[in-house]
Amino acid sequence: MRRYFGRKLLIYGLTFFAAVTINWLIPRLMPGDPVASMVSRANLAQPEAVAAMQAYYTGLFGLDLPAWQQYLNFWGALLRGDLGISIWLFPTPVADVITRAVPYTLGLLVPAILLSWWAGNRFGAFAARRRLLDNTVLPVGYILTATPYMWLAILLAWGLGIVAGVFPVAGGYSYAMRPNLSWEFVGSLALHWFLPFLSLFLVAFGGWAIGMRNMIIYELEADYSSYLSALGAPQRLIRRYAFRNAVLPQITGLALQLGVLVAGALVTEVVFSYPGLGSLILKAIQNQDFFLLQGVFLFIVIGVLVANFVIDIVYVLVDPRTRAGMGAEA
Amino acid sequence: MSVVPDEKAAVATTGVRAEALHFALRNGKLLAGLTVLVVLLVLGLFGPMVAAADPNAYVGPQFAPPSGEHWFGTTIFGQDIFTQFIHGLRATFLVGLLGGGIAAVIGMAIGFTAGYRGGIVDEILNMLTNIVLVLPALAVLLVINAYLGIRSIPVQAVFIGLTSWPWVARAIRAQTFSLRSREFVDLARLSGVRPWRIMTREIAPNMSSYLFMAFILLFGGSVLIGASLDFIGLGPTDSISLGLMLNNAARYNALHLGMWWWFIPPGLGITAVVGSLYVMNVGLDEVFNPKLREM
């Protein structure tokens, strides 16, 4: 088991290293002089801001130093928590801008992932090999997984938000309020949270339901299932065993799907102008705010790595074979 | 997913092909998916030749709902949405084909090599696969595309291909592992057949159905990633794509203006392409895997 976690941690460490290296390398691959083009792209009116930015970037990139030193300096700044200064919200540090947005993204993403995984698995397992459900659920599930996240979000915003007028379609809370600790504000938060959540939930739900349904069918074909039913075991018991076996690949699937789910959350936030990381990315791209973009990228990578590690731990808790050191494959 | 047919199948290839064809022609899912896909493909391939050449030209009245003149209506600027739609479909197929194709080639190369060679080569390739697997593809693409100013569909597709291969490499590696110790592979090795030939002639044909299905899934995945990139604002600047249409619709407030004809067609187009691919995939799975056939 130590070997299992050691391997995993090594991979995550290397991934983080790769992500930071990408962050360092990509700006240096930019055609032309990165400092000049960034300052010109930033579209600043005041000359003193231009000068400040020019000096800041030149110092930050340290382009006159040898490459290895630039690289080490980059890591040094990163380890001090210095992700640079946002251009969009000029003198706010990128780290602050991101910390303000992260709770919204997590509040959306974590419940959507966990609930869709749980409900999708339950439902898929229930629908498998039940003719009527199988024939209706399956097509719906496939349509849902094939739906681009932003399109379902747009449809929901239009249908439930604008046409029916039940839910607000923009922002994380009512524009008439300032964040405070009152029931009214919490209610507003919940109301604005619901549609983005629903949209994320539905797309992911379709995928889990189909995956589980297919998995259960494989398990019901397996020898142990035939053996159990030959012994005269009740169908419910067989299905329960099938579910326990089928859930393991679904846990691995959750780890594999994290990137897609995060991507889905980002575009969903853009649709609803939800004040999370997705909206920050949109603003960063619109304002050519590369430091913000890089900061968000790093945050997403860290989040995905942490989530992966949590899933690894859960996997060990659920699957006794990993504990015995049989499933040491990383 | 699919089960590798056993080695006897390699001998009776023609019989297997005939059987596969027999079931393929009777598989509703495969045929339905294929029909939708072919209709959209024809529309995307030949539509732009018939319709106007420039999808972004201002041709009609602004803000017009669907009519006989403009089948899908017009945008807030008076661009014809149907023209944009068929040009966008073409871009969607291009992204899927190129992105999915590149990812499939990389995934196969790494998967076969790692699985067949084993040892230190496998360790290194496996490590690389795992790293790229954990990195969220869209986030990486956002940074790369924004910095390098990638705004053309083919280049975007190439980068999508470069980031979305890991799960295929992993699956192929696992299957290659199980095939490489089979007798027919040993026999080929003993007769002095070169590794490249063993991989292409002995191992790959035994998972050809799997390879094809993996390509279909990669195709769909590339389409979705491409659409997300376009939607966030990194779409092509000189042409149109379905994702960019959604981006425009959202940016110019089609929702609040009630212009449903602006945002429904592009999303529906993406969903139809990807959905028909997925349904085809299930159909193919049933064709290749007798256990899954309807009983």
Q: Domain with A165 in it: what CATH number?
A: 1.10.3720.10
Q: Kindly state whether B40 is in contact with chain A, defined as any CB-CB distance less than 8 angstroms.
A: no
Q: Are A42 and A286 in contact (CB under 8 A)?
A: no
Q: Cβ B133–A256 below 8 Å, yes or no?
A: yes
- Write down the pLDDT at residue B125: 94
Q: Are A212 and A125 in contact (CB under 8 A)?
A: yes
Is the pLDDT at B56 greater than 70? The verdict is yes
- Write down the pLDDT at residue B4: 47
Q: Kindly state whether B28 is in contact with chain A, defined as any CB-CB distance less than 8 angstroms.
A: no
Is the pLDDT at A45 greater than 70? The verdict is no
Identify from A37, A87, A142 which residue to disrupt to test chain B contact, counting B C-beta atoms within 10 A and taking the largest count.
A142
- The model's confidence at residue A303, banded by pLDDT at 50, 70 and 90, is very high
* pLDDT greater at residue B3 or residue A143: A143
- The model's confidence at residue A300, banded by pLDDT at 50, 70 and 90, is very high
Is the pLDDT at A61 greater than 70? The verdict is no
- Write down the pLDDT at residue A267: 94
Q: Cβ B246–A330 below 8 Å, yes or no?
A: no
Distance CA A226, CA A231 (A): 9
The residue segments making up the domain with residue A322 are: 95-329
Q: Cβ A308–B140 below 8 Å, yes or no?
A: no
- Write down the pLDDT at residue B100: 96
Is the pLDDT at B86 greater than 50? The verdict is yes
On whether ipTM exceeds 0.90, the answer is no
- The secondary structure of chain B, three-state, reads CCCCCCHHHHHCHHHHHHHHHHHHHCCHHHHHHHHHHHHHHHHHHHHHHHCCCCCCCECCCCCCCCCCCCCCCECCCCEEHHHHHHHHHHHHHHHHHHHHHHHHHHHHHHHHHHHHHCHHHHHHHHHHHHHHHHCCHHHHHHHHHHHHCCCCHHHHHHHHHHHCCHHHHHHHHHHHHHHHCCHHHHHHHHCCCCHHHHHHHHHHHHHHHHHHHHHHHHHHHHHHHHHHHHHHHHCCCCCCCHHHHHHHHHHCCHHHHCCHHHHHHHHHHHHHHHHHHHHHHHHHHHHHCHHHCCC
Distance CA B109, CA A259 (A): 23
Look over chain B and give the mean of its residue pLDDT values, rounded to a whole number. 87
Domains, chain B, in order of start with CATH, read 45-60+72-270 (1.10.3720.10)
Lookup: tokens for A38 = 């960034």
- Write down the pLDDT at residue A250: 92
Question: What's the mean pLDDT in B222-251?
Answer: 91
Is the pLDDT at A46 greater than 90? The verdict is no
User: Does residue A160 belong to any structural domain of this protein?
Assistant: yes
User: Does residue A74 belong to any structural domain of this protein?
Assistant: no
Lookup: tokens for A162 = 């604008």
Residue A20 distance to chain B (closest CA, Å) = 11
User: Does residue A243 belong to any structural domain of this protein?
Assistant: yes
Lookup: tokens for B55 = 């999808």
Question: What's the mean pLDDT in A297-324?
Answer: 88
pLDDT, tens digit (0-9, with 9 covering 90-100), for A92-118 = 888 899 999 999 999 999 999 999 999
* pLDDT greater at residue B112 or residue B1: B112
Is the pLDDT at A21 greater than 50? The verdict is yes
Question: What's the mean pLDDT in B14-31?
Answer: 80
User: Does residue A208 belong to any structural domain of this protein?
Assistant: yes
How much of chain B, in percent, has pLDDT values that exceed 70?
A: 93
Query: Three-class SS of residue A85?
Result: strand
Q: Which A residues 165-184 touch B at CB under 8 Å?
A: 169
Question: What's the mean pLDDT in A220-239?
Answer: 90
User: Does residue A162 belong to any structural domain of this protein?
Assistant: yes
User: Does residue A87 belong to any structural domain of this protein?
Assistant: no
User: Does residue A51 belong to any structural domain of this protein?
Assistant: no
